[in-house]
Structure 1
Amino acid sequence: MRVAMASAAARRGRVNEDFTAATATAAVLVDGAGIPGSAAVCRHGVAWYAVRLGGSLLGLLSLHPDRGLTAVLAAAIEQVTAEHRDTCDVADPISPSAAVAVLRLSGDRLDHLVLGDAVLVLDRCAGAPLVVTDPREVVIARTYESELAGKAEGSEEYRRILRELRAHRNRPGGFWVAKDDPKAADEAQTGSCAIADLSGAALLSNGASRIVDRFGLTDWPGALAVLAADGPAAVIDRVRQAEARHATAADDATIAYCAALDEA
């Protein structure tokens, strides 16, 4: 499997809270999430959480190739939580969390997992791409858009609304992300496809998937064509240009594009 990756922080001088990495048989993408005030409950920060979780995932995928992806994610969440449970309030609703996308070659199959609003796209040889994501966070976040409109970012009222939104994390009727509870992994979207039916696959943070799902610059077949021809950085460049045109706040953007799946 050949993997091309690109990642860009939302703006110059800002820490990138995304993470992606790969081996010859697996790829992971972690989209870290936090809100103002999280430093008061976790001294490490969102970027630390994303890197630790991604590294743990990749290590476990390599060490336990026969373990199911849900079990691997649960174990990774448990490992990272144990690393900072004694120093941080890991259970606080505003402590760092992350969306996750994983794929792994297993024999003649490609297994995949998505937790949260990361996006995984499987480029099928016949038919439309298979797009895997979890819309629950997006649906809930939209109910808060009117409350956030007009509030100064960083103000106490803005932070209060975000805290209320984040309180829906990892509870029934809410949305699910990697945080402190390994049981959240049970809520992930999972599946498996024959490698022979695929020509490639892409993992995207929601800052990169904007090329399709926010700005509509192309559709998923078009995005996959750009990835195949010009690579992940070209997609992120197009997203940044659209953010500038629409005066939209930029987000960390990360892509791992996997091709030649049968060369593992």
Structure 2
Amino acid sequence: MHPSLFSLPAEPGRESEDACAIGDGLAVVVDGAGLPKSSRRGCGHAVAWYARMLAEAFRVRLEARTTMMTDALAAAIAEVTAAHSDTCDLGQGSPSATVAAWRVVGDHVEHLVLCDASIVLIGADGTPREITDDRIDAAVERRAAQLAADAGIGEAPAEMRFAALDQMRNVEGGFWCAHTDADAAQRALAGRTPIAQLRAIVAASDGGTRGFQKFGAHSLDDVAALAADGRLAEIAAQIRAAEDAAGPLPFTKPHDDIALVTATF
């Protein structure tokens, strides 16, 4: 069994900040956080570089089936941090990312999600279940509202929301993602499912799930049916059509990178 992969950048000719790494019975999706340079001013590396490095480092460690997925991710984060800690002032900011991964171990499939990337488990009867950690939205909205209130304004502007994002990353009461702190990996959502109970599994960046999460392009059931048939490009086309129809929305990217990796059983 080998994964099927589909990736599409947000804009033609632009490098995707999503990265995928696949192996024998395993897949990794890393969604690099497209933050302004001010939020990663201590590092000269691109977000895409961080995503690629982390995806490959995580994939290599997942090959050892006796290593827990959270431990493999922690080691991968530590490796990438060490790779540029001598050349960059990471205390002043660094690229970060969300992660979704799965791997086959014996007669089970293990999964891991860190932050708002997603795993979709598609049951043998076609019923889907999405696994994602959406604490980021609530944490940032809460902190941004506090900053706006402290400043005596009604709605937090974009720069204040980015400040809230920085302040709530990898702290208690906030949200957890891949950054420079390897211990964040232990906050990932992880589990395992018997293969006999599954028709397929999908790992997706949040660009690959925004069709049903934000834009009403399709339902989770629709996505599950298309993914189980390997029709990943159709999922992406529906997302792009819905993004275009929606037009500009506040604090929402008009288009996002899309990464989807699936396998059927």
**TM > 0.5 fold call:** yes
Q: What does 1:47-66 correspond to in 2, within 5 Å?
A: 47-62=48-63, 64-66=64-66
Q: Post-superposition shift, 1:160?
A: 4.2
Q: Post-superposition shift, 1:13?
A: 3.0
The match for 2:184 is 184
* Contact 1:201–1:259 (8 Å) recurs in 2: yes
Unaligned runs of 5+ in 1: 149-156
Q: What does 1:1-264 correspond to in 2, within 5 Å?
A: 1-36=1-36, 37-38=38-39, 40-62=41-63, 64-92=64-92, 94-126=93-125, 128-143=127-142, 144=144, 158-229=158-229, 231-248=231-248, 249-260=254-265
CA–CA distance in structure 2, aligned partners of residues 140 and 101 of structure 1: 20
Q: Post-superposition shift, 1:114?
A: 0.3
Greater CA drift, 1-10 or 188-197 = 1-10
CA–CA distance in structure 1, aligned partners of residues 44 and 196 of structure 2: 46
Quote the RMSD (CA, aligned, Å): 2.0
CA–CA distance in structure 2, aligned partners of residues 65 and 250 of structure 1: 36
Q: Deviations over 1:201-252 (max 9, x none)?
A: 0111111101111112222221111223352111111111111000141111
* Contact 2:202–2:263 (8 Å) recurs in 1: yes
The match for 1:151 is none
* Contact 1:118–1:205 (8 Å) recurs in 2: yes
Greater CA drift, 222-231 or 44-53 = 222-231
Secondary structure of the equivalent of 2:229?
A: helix
CA–CA distance in structure 1, aligned partners of residues 216 and 145 of structure 2: 20
CA–CA distance in structure 1, aligned partners of residues 111 and 230 of structure 2: 24
Which residue identity lines up with residue 193 of structure 2 in the other structure? C
Q: Post-superposition shift, 1:57?
A: 0.6
* Contact 2:10–2:257 (8 Å) recurs in 1: yes
CA–CA distance in structure 2, aligned partners of residues 230 and 165 of structure 1: 35
CA–CA distance in structure 2, aligned partners of residues 84 and 32 of structure 1: 16
Q: Deviations over 1:168-204 (max 9, x none)?
A: 1000000000111110011100100001110100111
Q: Post-superposition shift, 1:24?
A: 1.7
Secondary structure of the equivalent of 1:27?
A: strand
Return the structure number with greater relative CO, CA threshold 8 A, min gap 6.
Answer: 1
* Contact 1:4–1:231 (8 Å) recurs in 2: no
* Contact 1:30–1:53 (8 Å) recurs in 2: yes
* Contact 1:35–1:159 (8 Å) recurs in 2: no
* Contact 2:126–2:225 (8 Å) recurs in 1: no
Q: Sequence identity of aligned pairs in percent?
A: 36
Secondary structure of the equivalent of 1:167?
A: helix
Task: Give the direction of change, closer, same or farther, for the CA distance of 1:13–1:70 in structure 2 (3 Å limit).
Answer: same
CA–CA distance in structure 1, aligned partners of residues 95 and 145 of structure 2: 22
* Contact 2:139–2:173 (8 Å) recurs in 1: no
CA–CA distance in structure 2, aligned partners of residues 69 and 78 of structure 1: 14
The match for 2:151 is none
Q: Post-superposition shift, 1:44?
A: 0.9
Secondary structure of the equivalent of 1:171?
A: coil
CA–CA distance in structure 1, aligned partners of residues 17 and 129 of structure 2: 26
Which residue identity lines up with residue 186 of structure 1 in the other structure? Q
The match for 1:152 is none
Which residue identity lines up with residue 235 of structure 2 in the other structure? V
> What's the TM-score once normalised by structure 2's chain length?
0.88
* Contact 1:34–1:95 (8 Å) recurs in 2: no
Q: Post-superposition shift, 1:147?
A: 8.9
